[in-house]
Structure 1
Amino acid sequence: MKSIVLLATFFLFQQVYSQEKRQAELTLTEHLNLQEVITLARQRSTDAILYRHQFLSAYWQYRSFRAELLPSLNLGLVAPNFSHSLVALQNSETGEYKYVQDYAMRNSVNLSIDQNIAATGGKVALYSSLERLDQFEPQRYHLYNTNPVSITYTQPIFGSFNKLKWDKKIEPEAYERAKINYLEAMEGVTVKAVDLFFTLVSAQQKMKMARTNYQNTEKNYHIAQERFKIGTVTQNDLMQLELRMLNDGMTISQMETEVKTAQFELASFLGYPQSGVNFELTLPETIPPLNLNYSDVYELSIRNTSFKLDQKILLLRAEMAIAQAKANRGAQAEFFAQFGLNQSAAELNGSYRNPQDQENVRLGIQIPLMDWGMGKGRVKTAQSQMNVIQTQIKQQLTDHQQDIMIRVLQFNNQATQCRISEKANEVAQKRYDLSMELFKKGTLSVLEFNTAQTEKDEAVSRFITEVYNYWKYYYSLQQSTLYNFLETRNISEDFDKLIQN
């Protein structure tokens, strides 16, 4: 019976081992440092791809605006336009209406070149058209009507809002802001990559510590059991070690879950298959000796980023709203002029011979006599909104100054925090190693050993946290200034390369 149990256990072990081996063969192990994770995130993450498409959308919107400033070539075609119905016709002498049979087809084609004039809000067009009329009853015939060339000009004289003029001011600024927003968004991808990197590093380190602690506590527990038999260790000390070992076991189980969760999140962010990659991450070996000057950082945050452009566009849009309200409250007038040639004939060639002059001039005026203060109210509302925006901009500038100052202070202090925590980590590890030796010799209590282990774990976690804070502060300031302080250059230099990737 015993041999059967051993044989079954052996086959079960072989099956589990084979499954774990196959799983290990299917799992990709990636050895990455912080900079490699950042590079992958900027190239492959869903966020980076999304921000690239958002910028391209803004780019084509700007291209569409630029097209409005260029001449446009337009072709119009109406064919067929057939009618066979009764239509009302009024006698010009008696005023009597009579229904007559309309049995005809009218086909037309036209070609025009249109040009908007942003400075004045007018529009000029060069026009040519051809129309054929086929009459089927009461007698069958056809006519051609041609307009070989004609030029028209439409111009608001006063009281008309010139949107294209304002678009010419705002759209280039909006496009520049879109480029800067894209660079800032990509720096945001870097900040997120740093966060996910250190989340996984911290979880892996805690799991490693928990396994080491469990092994060491298990050894000490066996030593304490032997000493308990000879009366040199109390039952309370033995139970403390047993409790510590159980707690370490629960920590291992908990950290395995946290490591897997952090693995999945990083894999998803970097575009890996979530169940097919295992990350082995390496902490940055050195902390760069950077000390940032507040004035320089603040100046970069204003000059390089979208902060100033956002305010400029807000003010321009507020000014545009005031101009629109003022234009719509008073009299409005529009001038239209057309000069060209026109002819009609039964034959196509004849319709182009001896064309006649064609002139059309029109001036339209609309004057609101009483609007009960509606126009004035709209102007006052737009002006009040401008005052609100100006006040908000002043407050934003003050808040921005304070924010940059605090973050520069945090970053400049963080390198010192990293050095201190690194030294504390070394001391705590040495003290723990010494505690292990002293406990084996029987000269250290269980309580003192547990204290040394707790302090060692806290020191490791604190060191990782301080290194994380250093890089989080650094890349956050890099995002807020679009300036690479390590390489001393503006990030905008990489714009074309980022778009191509």
Structure 2
Amino acid sequence: MGNRISICLWSCLLSLGAAVGPALGRERGAVRLSLGEAIERAQACSIDAMMAKHTYLSQYWQYRSYRAQMLPSLSLSGTIPNFDKSYTSLQNAVTGGYNYVDNYAMRNSLGLYLQQNIAATGGNIQLYTGLDRLDQFAPEREVTWNSAPVSLILNQPIGGFNQLRWDKRIEPVRYEKAKYEYLESMEAITAQAVTLFFDLLVAQQNLDIARKNRDNTDTLYKISQERFRIGSISKNDLMQLELRLLNEGMSINTNKLQLDLAAARFKSYLRLDEGDSVALDIPGSVPGVEIPIEEAYRLAFTNTSFEYRNRISQLEAEMSVAQAKANRRPQATVYARFGLNQVAETIGGAYRNPLDQETVRMGITVPIFDGGVARGKVRMALFRQEVTEAEIDKERIDRKQDIYLKVMQFNNQNAQCAISARADSVAAERYALSLRQFAAGKISVLDFNTAQSERNTAHTSYLAELQNYWNYYYAIQRYTLFDFMHGRNIAACFDVVSLEKQ
């Protein structure tokens, strides 16, 4: 009987060798990823990355469209042909009576416009050249050419709201905000990838632990059965091991379900094939980086979309006030046209000895009484402006508090990870020692259970501290758009050309 026990002990020790140390084995899969590789794939392949890219590009082309409005535009317009054969009513200038006359004519016209918007005044100026041909078929065949070799046309509102001037102030800021928001969206993708990575990693580790625990407990249960037969352990201790073996079997099923769910979310986000099996590497020791709080403050307010969002809010509030005030004032529109014009029976004659052509027209609108509507709109716009300023001040205070909290948490996390890593190593060594001692009959089932629970807790805590470290770091990176580990300004590396080619 003693020989049989000795053989069981040796087989137990050989089978438990894989349990020593904090690193647990895992199944090999088709895809193996580190944390950095998972982040890179998420930023390149995820649906969120595609949405962030197209959201930015839509803002980019909106800005390009705005810029195009400030450049000269050339357009061609015409009516070819405009044929009319009908009876038309015509009033007699002397008697005032109407007669129907036969209209049988065709008019063709062609014009070329060069237009430039004037942001400073809100008007536009045009340079025009055009040519009309009138063919009269009855009562006699006549051809008349009407040319406008060159005309200068001005459309200028006076006293009204100048949208172009405000667009010139707001649109460049809105575009800069879009660039920083794109980079912040990519950092949000990084944070989500970190969360899903550690969710899957913890699920894999928990399943590995559950399987190791079940295998080890099964081996020790078989040894304990032999000991129970010779009376070296009690029935209670044997039943404790049997109960633990059953619980660990249920734990495997629970952890398998958790692993399947975490793997499905991870593969869906990174757009991996559903049939791929994924193996994740536990991140190594964390870099010894400490982030200066003042530098984090400076970057959070100057290197992100935060101030651009606030600036746009301020400008839009100011624009609303300016628009409301403009609507209370008298407004006018000036139309002026200066150029040359000539009419002849031949096209050559239409360009010979052109005559002056001048047209000046002004329309005016003067508010007299509206029951206080315009005044009320001005007051409302001013109140909204004050509310906007107060909200911006509050957001600055809240953002500073958030940055302080995250930097303090991150700087403290280095020590937390070091302590947790040491605890994980000590717990693993103690568990391995407890296995050998229990197999040798030197400790009780209770002591073995305690060592196993502490090993499980220490390893889970270590992974949780690693996740907290990277969560804090990438949260700060999103708040500052600065890579403190490599001393790299993320915003300075932005390249719209490469983004469009993707």
| TM > 0.5 | yes
Q: Show the counterpart of 1:233.
A: 233
| Corresponding position: 1:435 with 2:438 | no
Q: Show the counterpart of 2:193.
A: 193
Q: Which deviates the most, 138-147 or 164-173?
A: 138-147
The aligned amino acid for 1:65 is Y
Deviation at 1:77, TM superposition (A): 1.9
The aligned amino acid for 2:163 is K
- Unmatched segments (≥5 aa) in structure 2: 1-27
Deviation at 1:116, TM superposition (A): 0.6
Q: Which deviates the most, 48-57 or 353-362?
A: 48-57
| Paired residue secondary structure (1:79) | strand
| Paired residue secondary structure (2:421) | helix
Q: Show the counterpart of 1:171.
A: 171
The aligned amino acid for 1:76 is S
Q: Distance in 1 between matches of 2:196 and 2:261?
A: 11
The aligned amino acid for 1:228 is F
- Unmatched segments (≥5 aa) in structure 1: 1-26
| Paired residue secondary structure (2:251) | helix
Q: Which deviates the most, 125-134 or 257-266?
A: 257-266
Change (3 A) 1:435 1:102: same
Q: Which deviates the most, 219-228 or 86-95?
A: 86-95
Q: Show the counterpart of 1:308.
A: 307
| Paired residue secondary structure (2:66) | helix
| Corresponding position: 1:355 with 2:354 | yes
Q: What does 1:148-167 align with in structure 2 at a 5 Å threshold?
A: 148-158=149-159, 160-167=160-167
Q: Which deviates the most, 410-419 or 341-350?
A: 341-350
Q: Distance in 2 between matches of 1:86 and 1:421?
A: 98
Deviation at 1:44, TM superposition (A): 2.3
Q: Distance in 1 between matches of 2:104 and 2:233?
A: 118
Q: What are the superposed Cα offsets for residues 391-446 of structure 1, whole Å, 9 maximum, x if unpaired? A: 10111111111111111111111111111111111121122112212211223222
Q: Show the counterpart of 1:22.
A: none
Q: What are the superposed Cα offsets for residues 110-156 of structure 1, whole Å, 9 maximum, x if unpaired? A: 10100011111121100011112222333332222111110011222
CA contact (8 A) 2:304 2:480 kept: yes
Deviation at 1:97, TM superposition (A): 2.4
Deviation at 1:179, TM superposition (A): 0.8
| Paired residue secondary structure (2:284) | coil
Q: Show the counterpart of 2:392.
A: 393
| Paired residue secondary structure (1:148) | strand
Q: Show the counterpart of 1:334.
A: 333
Q: What does 1:398-409 align with in structure 2 at a 5 Å threshold?
A: 398-409=397-408
Higher RCO (C-alpha 8 Å, min separation 6): 2
| Corresponding position: 1:33 with 2:34 | yes
The aligned amino acid for 2:177 is R
Q: What does 1:262-301 align with in structure 2 at a 5 Å threshold?
A: 262-275=262-275, 277-301=276-300
| Paired residue secondary structure (1:247) | helix
Q: Show the counterpart of 1:107.
A: 108
Q: Distance in 2 between matches of 1:315 and 1:57?
A: 23
Q: Distance in 2 between matches of 1:77 and 1:28?
A: 68
Q: Show the counterpart of 2:124.
A: 123
Deviation at 1:233, TM superposition (A): 2.8
Q: Show the counterpart of 2:183.
A: 183
Deviation at 1:28, TM superposition (A): 6.3
Deviation at 1:30, TM superposition (A): 2.1
| Paired residue secondary structure (1:80) | strand
Q: Show the counterpart of 2:74.
A: 73
Q: Show the counterpart of 2:94.
A: 93
Change (3 A) 1:285 1:28: closer
Deviation at 1:228, TM superposition (A): 2.2
Q: Distance in 2 between matches of 1:53 and 1:98?
A: 64
Q: Show the counterpart of 1:486.
A: 485
Q: What does 1:417-432 align with in structure 2 at a 5 Å threshold?
A: 417-432=416-431
Q: Percent identity?
A: 48
| Paired residue secondary structure (1:238) | helix
Matched positions, count: 473
Q: TM-score of the superposition, structure 1-length normalised?
A: 0.91
Q: TM-score of the superposition, structure 2-length normalised?
A: 0.91
CA contact (8 A) 2:29 2:279 kept: no
Deviation at 1:92, TM superposition (A): 1.8
Q: What are the superposed Cα offsets for residues 324-352 of structure 1, whole Å, 9 maximum, x if unpaired? A: 11111121012221101111222222211
Q: Distance in 2 between matches of 1:89 and 1:238?
A: 118
Q: What are the superposed Cα offsets for residues 445-478 of structure 1, whole Å, 9 maximum, x if unpaired? A: 2222222211111111110010011011001100
Change (3 A) 1:128 1:215: same
The aligned amino acid for 1:246 is L
